[in-house]
Chain A
Amino acid sequence: MTVPVEITINGKACSGEVEERQLLVHFIRENAGLTGTKVGCDTSQCGTCTVQLDGVSAKSCTVLTVQASGSSVTTIEGISDGVDLHPLQEAFWNNHGLQCGFCTPGMIMAANELLSKNPSPTREEIRHGLEGNICRCTGYQNIVSAVEDAAKAMGGR
Chain B
Amino acid sequence: MTTRIFGSGIRRREDPRLITGRASYTDDIKLPGTLHAAILRSPYAHANIKSVDATGAAGQPGVVAVYTGEDTDGVLNGLPCAWLIPGSDLKTPAHPAIAKDKVRYVGDAVAVVVAETRYQAEDALEHISVDYEPLDVVVSPKAAAQDGAPQLHEDVPNNIAFTWALAGGDTDAAFADAAVTVSDTITLPRLIANPMEPRSALAQWSAAMGELTLWNTTQNPHIARFVTCVVTSVPEHKIRVIAPEVGGGFGSKIPYYADEAITAFCSMKLGVPVKWTETRSENYLITTQGRDHIEEVEMAATSDGVITGLRTTVYAGMGGYLSTAAPGVPTILHGLMYSGPYNIPNISGTVYGVFNNGAPVDAYRGAGRPEATMLLERMVDLVAAAVGQDPAEVRRKNLIPKFENGHDVATGITYDSGDYESALDSCLSAAGYEALRAEQAQARADGRCVGVGVSSYVEICGLGPSQVAGAVGFQGGLWESAIIRFYPTGKANVMVGSSPHGQGEETTFAQIVAGELGVEVDDVEVIHGDTDNTPMGWGTYGSRTTAVSGAAIAVAARKIKEKSRALAAHLLEAAPEDIEYEDGRFYVRGSPDQHKTIQDIALMANVAWNMPEGMEPGLEASAFYDPPNFTYPFGAHIAVVEVDPETGRIDLQRYVAVDDCGVQINPMIVEGQVHGGVVQGVGPALWEGAVYDDDGQLVTGSMLDYALPRADLLPDIEVSSNTTPSPHHPLGVKGIGEAGTIASTPTVYNAVMDALRPLGVTRVDMPLTPEKVWRAINDARNGG
Contact = CB atoms under 8 A, between A and B. Distances in A.
Interface of A: 19, 21-22, 29, 33-43, 45-46, 48, 75-77, 80, 82, 85, 89, 92-94, 96, 98-105, 108, 123, 126-128, 130-131, 133-144
Interface in B463-508: 501-504
Given A35-B28, A100-B196, A103-B196, A141 B119 contact: no
25 contacts: A19-B119, A38-B247, A41-B280, A41-B702, A41-B703, A43-B702, A77-B20, A82-B16, A93-B11, A93-B12, A96-B672, A98-B15, A99-B672, A100-B197, A100-B245, A100-B501, A102-B248, A134-B194, A136-B248, A139-B675, A139-B709, A139-B714, A141-B714, A141-B717, A143-B711
Given A102-B247, A139-B714, A140-B679, A40 B198 contact: yes
Given A46-B196, A123-B716, 9 more contacts: A38-B25, A38-B247, A85-B19, A96-B671, A126-B711, A134-B194, A135-B196, A137-B196, A139-B714
Interface string B1-20: 00000000101101111111
Contacts of A143: 711
Central interface residue in A41, A99, A128, A141, by most chain B CB within 10 Å: A99
A93 B16 contact: yes
Given A99-B503, A101-B245, A138-B676, A82 B717 contact: no
Q: Name the 3 nearest CB pairs between A and B, nearest first.
A: A36-B21, A102-B247, A101-B18
Interface of B: 9, 11-12, 14-25, 27-28, 30, 119, 194-198, 245-248, 250, 279-281, 501-504, 668-669, 671-672, 675-680, 702-704, 708-712, 714, 716-717, 740
B238 to A, nearest CB: 29
A127 B711 contact: yes
B22 A36 contact: yes
Contacts of A37: 21
B711 A40 contact: no
Contacts of B675: 138-142
Given A96-B11, A101-B19, A130-B711, A45 B702 contact: yes
B708 A35 contact: no
Contacts of A40: 196-198, 280
A46 B248 contact: no
Contacts of A144: 711, 716
Contacts of B30: 33
B708 A98 contact: no
A95 to B, nearest CB: 9
Contact of B18 (A75, A98, A127): A98
B11 A38 contact: no
A146 to B, nearest CB: 10
Nearest to B196: A102
B672 A127 contact: no
A42 B280 contact: yes
B197 A139 contact: no
A46 B20 contact: no
Contacts of A22: 119
A98 B17 CA distance: 12
A102 B195 contact: yes
Given A43-B702, A143-B711, A77 B197 contact: no
Nearest to B678: A139
Given A100-B501, A139-B678, A80 B20 contact: yes
Contacts of A126: 711
A79 to B, nearest CB: 9
Contacts of B18: 98, 101, 104
A145 to B, nearest CB: 9
Contacts of A104: 18-19
Contacts of B27: 35, 39
A38 B69 CA distance: 32
A43 B19 contact: no
Contacts of A75: 21
Contacts of A19: 119
Nearest to B282: A42
A93 B22 contact: no
Contact of B703 (A34, A46, A76): A46
A136 B197 CA distance: 10
A127 B668 contact: no
Contacts of A33: 30
Nearest to B23: A101
A22 B118 CA distance: 11
A141 B280 contact: no
Given A101-B502, A136-B250, A127 B196 contact: no
B712 A93 contact: no
Contacts of A36: 20-22
Contacts of B502: 99-101, 137
A113 to B, nearest CB: 15
Contact of A43 (B21, B198, B281, B678): B281
Contacts of B11: 93-94, 96
A139 B717 contact: yes
Contacts of B708: 134, 136
Given A102-B247, A127-B711, A43 B280 contact: yes
Contacts of B245: 100-101
B711 A140 contact: yes
Nearest to B195: A136
B711 A102 contact: no
Contact of B21 (A105, A134, A136, A141): A105
B676 A139 contact: yes
Central interface residue in A98, A131, A133, A140, by most chain B CB within 10 Å: A140
A140 B709 CA distance: 9
A94 B19 CA distance: 11
Contacts of B680: 136, 139
A109 to B, nearest CB: 10
A99 B250 CA distance: 12
A102 B197 contact: yes
A75 to B, nearest CB: 7
A35 B15 contact: no
Contacts of A29: 28
A134 to B, nearest CB: 6
Contacts of B247: 38, 100-102
A137 B676 contact: yes
Contacts of B678: 139
Contact of A99 (B16, B676, B709): B676
B19 A42 contact: no
A36 B704 CA distance: 24
Nearest to A40: B196
Given A99-B503, A102-B197, A134-B703, A89 B20 contact: yes
A31 to B, nearest CB: 12
A3 B745 CA distance: 52
Contact of B668 (A89, A96, A105, A136): A96
B676 A93 contact: no
Central interface residue in A22, A75, A82, A108, by most chain B CB within 10 Å: A82
Contacts of B501: 100
A35 B21 contact: yes
Nearest to B119: A19
Contacts of A128: 711-712
Nearest to B671: A96
Contact of A134 (B23, B25, B196): B196
A99 B248 contact: yes
B195 A34 contact: no
A1 to B, nearest CB: 10
Central interface residue in A33, A100, A102, A135, by most chain B CB within 10 Å: A100
Contacts of A98: 15, 18-19
Nearest to A48: B196
Contacts of A102: 25, 195-197, 247-248
Contacts of B23: 101
A21 B119 contact: yes
B386 to A, nearest CB: 34
Contacts of B714: 127, 139-141
Contacts of A34: 21
B63 to A, nearest CB: 16
